[in-house]
Chains A and B, each alone.
Chain A
Amino acid sequence: DAKTTQPPSMDCAEGRAANLPCNHSTISGNEYVYWYRQIHSQGPQYIIHGLKNNETNEMASLIITEDRKSSTLILPHATLRDTAVYYCIVRVARDSNYQLIWGAGTKLIIKP
């Protein structure tokens, strides 16, 4: 199974862009990259996912390198409410279903 590697923690100033890196060097061609975040004592919240093209939605942008071995989640204008643990996840095919392989997460702290 592909594994992801993330920095354990990052700081970002409020109002600036937060760029969260993730390495997934063993990812296979049909495995998607997902990002979730978890605010303290809540369930994980979906942010974005992609295969090889860059993706953008109302929450964030996902930039995937051409070789797909790494990606970056971008929160364009971070607010204090974006303080959370961000998980980079690879979705792998398994039997007749899929499984999420979770990274250890990056604790993002947004500072005023």
Chain B
Amino acid sequence: DAMVIQNPRYQVTQFGKPVTLSCSQTLNHNVMYWYQQKSSQAPKLLFHYYDKDFNNEADTPDNFQSRRPNTSFCFLDIRSPGLGDAAMYLCATSQNGRGSGYTFGSGTRLTVV
């Protein structure tokens, strides 16, 4: 089945140590999103790629970066994780942001120690 896959499912990193989360898709969607979700809150959009164009949300900290080397893969880099960055990170895809096709991965739960 076509899907959005996030690896790893759980990630533990040390305070200040760079960490990368990955997302891949088999849907061939042109838009890929990264969301941050903290406990009991709705997902918060960090940034998205529309094709190769990177779109950052105004309130996304500089500590968060992203790469999309090709249509299928997208990475979230946290340069210096702080305790406040512990959260679930969700990857999603869509085709031009339309229709029913916002598909989410299962998420990566990040713990910072």
B98 / chain A contacts, CB cutoff of 8 Å: 98
A43 in contact with B107 (CB, 8 Å): yes
B50 near A: Cβ within 8 Å?
Answer: yes
B100 near A: Cβ within 8 Å?
Answer: yes
B107 in contact with A34 (CB, 8 Å): no
B109 near A: Cβ within 8 Å?
Answer: yes
A96 in contact with B45 (CB, 8 Å): no
- Which listed segment binds B: A10-18, A76-84, A99-107? A99-107
B26 near A: Cβ within 8 Å?
Answer: no
Contact of B43 among A44, A95, A97, A98 (CB under 8 A): A44
B2 near A: Cβ within 8 Å?
Answer: no
A91–B92 Cα distance when bound, in Å, is 15
* Chain A binding surface, main DSSP class: strand
CB distance from A21 to the nearest CB of B (A): 17
A103 / chain B contacts, CB cutoff of 8 Å: 42
A64–B48 Cα distance when bound, in Å, is 29
A102 / chain B contacts, CB cutoff of 8 Å: 42-43
A46 in contact with B102 (CB, 8 Å): yes
CB distance from B50 to the nearest CB of A (A): 5
B20 near A: Cβ within 8 Å?
Answer: no
A22–B29 Cα distance when bound, in Å, is 29
CB distance from B3 to the nearest CB of A (A): 10
Contact of B55 among A41, A97, A105 (CB under 8 A): A97
A49 near B: Cβ within 8 Å?
Answer: yes
A43 in contact with B97 (CB, 8 Å): no
Given contacts A41-B109, A96-B50, A97-B31, A46 and B42 within 8 Å (CB-CB): no
A49 / chain B contacts, CB cutoff of 8 Å: 99-100
Chain A residue nearest to B43 in the complex (CB): A102
CB distance from B93 to the nearest CB of A (A): 11
A102–B35 Cα distance when bound, in Å, is 12
Chain B residue nearest to A46 in the complex (CB): B100
Given contacts A91-B97, A97-B97, A43 and B104 within 8 Å (CB-CB): yes
Top 7 closest A-B pairs, CB basis?
A98-B97, A43-B104, A102-B42, A44-B104, A43-B106, A97-B97, A43-B107
